[in-house]
Amino acid sequence: MPELPEVETIKRGLEKKVIGKKITGATVNLPKVINRPVAEFARLLKNTIIKKVARRAKILMLTLSNGHTLGIHLKISGRLLYLKKNSPVEKHTHVIFDLNNGHQIRFWDLRRFGYVKLMRSEEAVKELKLDEFGPEPLTKEFTLDIFKNLLNQRKNSRIKPLLMDQGFVAGIGNIYADEILFYARVHPLRPAGELSARETKDIFNGTKKILTTAVQKKGTTVDLYVDLSGRAGNYVNYLKAYGCEDKPCVRCGARIQRIKIGSRSAHFCPRCQKQ
């Protein structure tokens, strides 16, 4: 699933490519992924200018000149691609936005869990439930003191599921939770209330460092994610825990282990990250 670095990479690509461009038409091949009747959806989009691109948690938002906003969530397997209009249209391409520069924005989703919602801009917070997300971890406003306060409110929660809780901190998923906890040498099952001051600080610093680096490397491709141009993310070459089961720990040489926490996996070093 695309997480904060992957969605931020796509957002930055869109900012360079589509701001100021006009949407001249829209094609919907799978009506279930949009939130309006197809004809209305296409009519409201036609001849609008893309004024702004933003991200909140894992959701992309395109502000349009007619007072509407497009909210796009890639969920588990979605892609957003910027391609020339004459490029072959791949199977599982569900929505296509024609632009006035001969290019298209294409929403592709193998598993069909993602969505493209069109709403009035003043209703976007409610429609996309943006106020239910926790703080953005890469902002200046997300400080160590704020992180400590958040942990104090969830003392009994296991730290890995907590990091992945979008109401706790926005944008972190399975990949980066594993990497952050490996960086901090914290076992994924540790209760938040049992973390030392050093461990808390290391998790905070690891969050900032790893997410920032992952954005610089254009995200992580371990499955279906690609950037706006269809290129894989390079942070996969820097993973030290996620997907590294049975590989030697880069710090101590012990074999990375994988356990189940609910329906999700966690990867960790049993020697560096003791419970």
What pLDDT, on the 0 to 100 scale, is given for residue 227? 97
Q: Where are the beta strands (DSSP E) in the chain?
A: 22-28, 48-56, 59-64, 68-73, 78-84, 93-99, 103-109, 115-120, 257-261, 264-268
pLDDT average, residue stretch 135-151:
98
The verdict on whether 2 is a catalytic residue reads yes
How many CB atoms are closer than 10 A to CB 39?
9
Look at residue 214 in the predicted model and tell me its pLDDT: 98
Active site residue 141: no
| CB neighbour burial string for 86-103, b if at least 16 within 10 angstroms, e if fewer | eeeeeebbbbbbbbeeeb
Annotated active-site residue 264? The verdict is yes
Q: Active-site residue among 2, 5, 137, 188?
A: 2
Catalytic-role residue among 3, 6, 136, 179: 3
Residue 1 pLDDT > 90: no
52 as an active site residue: the answer is: no
pLDDT, one tens digit per residue, over 46-103 is: 999 999 999 999 999 999 999 999 999 999 999 999 999 999 999 999 999 999 999 9
Q: What pLDDT does 275 receive?
A: 84
**Choosing from 11, 17, 56, 58, which is the catalytic residue?**
58
Q: Which of 22, 208, 264, 271 is catalytic?
A: 264
pTM (2 d.p.): 0.96
What number is the average pLDDT over the span 8-26?
A: 98
Measured CA to CA, the distance from residue 74 to residue 145 in angstroms comes to: 32
At residue 180's C-alpha, the angle toward residues 275 and 55, to 5°, is: 140
